Amino acid sequence: MGVKDILIVEDDRSIERILELELKHENYSFDSAFDGVEALDLFEVNTYRLVLLDIMLPKMSGTEVCRRIRRHSDVPVIMLTAKHDLSDKVGGLDLGADDYITKPFEMEELLARIRASMRKGHIRSGETETLVMGDLSLNPQAHEVLKRGSPIELTKTEFELLKCLIVNKGLVLTREQILNQVWGYDYYGSTNVLDVYVRYLRNKIDIPYGTETIHTVRGVGYTMKEQP
The answer to whether residues 185 and 133 touch, using CB atoms and an 8 Å cutoff, is no
**In sequence order, what are the residues at sequence separation of 6 or more whose Cβ sits closer than 8 angstroms to the Cβ of residue 122?**
129
What pLDDT is recorded for position 198?
Answer: 95
What pLDDT is recorded for position 128?
Answer: 52
Secondary structure E strands in 55-170: 77-82, 99-103, 131-133, 136-139, 144-147, 150-151
Does domain 2-124 fall under CATH 3.40.50.2300? My reply is: yes
Q: Where in the chain is the domain with CATH 1.10.10.10?
A: 131-224
What pLDDT is recorded for position 98?
Answer: 79
**In sequence order, what are the residues at sequence separation of 6 or more whose Cβ sits closer than 8 angstroms to the Cβ of residue 115?**
none
What pLDDT is recorded for position 84?
Answer: 57
- CA end-to-end span of the chain, whole Å? 45
pTM score: 0.55
Average pLDDT for consecutive 10-residue bins of the chain (228 residues)?
84 93 92 94 88 92 88 84 62 70 85 81 57 88 88 89 90 86 62 88 95 93 87
**Dihedral over Cα of 215, 159, 76, 11: its sign:** negative
For 131-224, CATH gives 1.10.10.10
Cα 69 from Cα 77, distance rounded (Å): 9
The answer to whether residues 172 and 220 touch, using CB atoms and an 8 Å cutoff, is yes
What pLDDT is recorded for position 203?
Answer: 96
- Sheet arrangement for strand 131-133: 131-133, 136-139, 144-147, 150-151
What pLDDT is recorded for position 126?
Answer: 47
What pLDDT is recorded for position 160?
Answer: 86
**In sequence order, what are the residues at sequence separation of 6 or more whose Cβ sits closer than 8 angstroms to the Cβ of residue 182?**
157, 160, 161, 164
| Omega cis (within 30) before 228 | no
Q: Where in the chain is the domain with CATH 3.40.50.2300?
A: 2-124
